[in-house]
Structure 1
Amino acid sequence: MIVIVDYECGNIASVLNMIRKAGGDATVSGSHEVIQQASKLILPGVGAYDQGMSHLHAKQLPAILQARAAAGVPLLGICLGMQLLGLGSEEGKIPGLGLIAARFKRFVFNADSAMRIPHVGWNTVYAKKINRLISDDQEEKRYYFDHSYYAVCAHEEDILATTEYGHGFPSAYSRESVYGVQFHPEKSHRFGLSLIKQFLDI
């Protein structure tokens, strides 16, 4: 059973629709009992970092998500969900779930730079190594982004893919059964559909 974690901070309907389009079936729930039964978990997310962590704590979800990840249940964090998997963010003060050794920093550009914050729109994602989400073939892969903070990983081997926006940053990472993507696969048409199918096959 695939469970989309409902903590009142995600565009859950879009994620659910993409899973169904990929041939999967998912349940939306914030229930501990349902999450305990999940064969896969998806942590979506839209909004501010501390708000997201506060909502997880309000539903007493951090410990159960950490336990399920430790048990080897595949967990995919999307956008804010990816950030919550890390250690913390400059955007807030509440520690993250700590499932990936990464901290999030705000993009900073010179006043005369053409780069704007947030980073919004389509951008190319380059696979850094063979992984279960993004195939390492020759086709250019583009996904939809909407974020102001980016990951700084403590361990280079956790980085699955990178993207350029003023400088390179990790746009996907993983450790053991935990995966995070900074972009929105549910808004990324055929590339997003392919990624969701890949996750369903893990």
Structure 2
Amino acid sequence: MSTRMTDLLAAAAERAVLVVQGLPDDLMDAPTPCVEYTVADLANHLYLVVVNFQELAAKQLPDWSQTPDYLHGAWRDAFAAETERLTEAWAAPGSEEGVSPGMGLPARTVGQMALLDLTVHAWDLARATGQPFEPAPETVPELAELLAVMGPTARKTGVLGEPCAAPEDADAFVRLLADSGRDPGWTSPDRG
């Protein structure tokens, strides 16, 4: 039996919250491994993902065309609260069953997509700001499964970049990063 999505999301959220709490204000304009995003842009995107995937867990279709600015006030603490709501939403009976409306994907696959964003974007933010990051070990096989199934379509639609080369001795997470279109050796040009 596979691990419940709520448990996987909780493990990933714990690590993502630590990274978000550690984002320094003076690096919010710094580049990230996601070339189209600064640290602030990516933090805001991750916040939006956490909010919208709560609705998807409830089989509702969020409005992805709206991108509110979440980065004001005590937004880091608010992000932590929203990640708790995300894990609670995926703990609800039926959240992993059936097909997501509007997306036409199995509900568990949709949960895996949230898990991918929480894990990979947390790494992106950590890498961009010089923070350590280790994924929750139990999430890596789940995400490798998702990329094996959804990766080709995600690349065609521009959601993921083309795979990068990973070192021969790379562990499973480094291979996952490379498969998601990230250079596992990326360093901020600001820090050399």
Q: Same fold (TM over 0.5)?
A: no
Query: Which one scores higher on RCO, CA 8 angstroms, separation ≥ 6?
Result: 2
**TM-score normalised per structure 2:** 0.28
**TM-score normalised per structure 1:** 0.27
Structure with the largest fraction of helix: 2
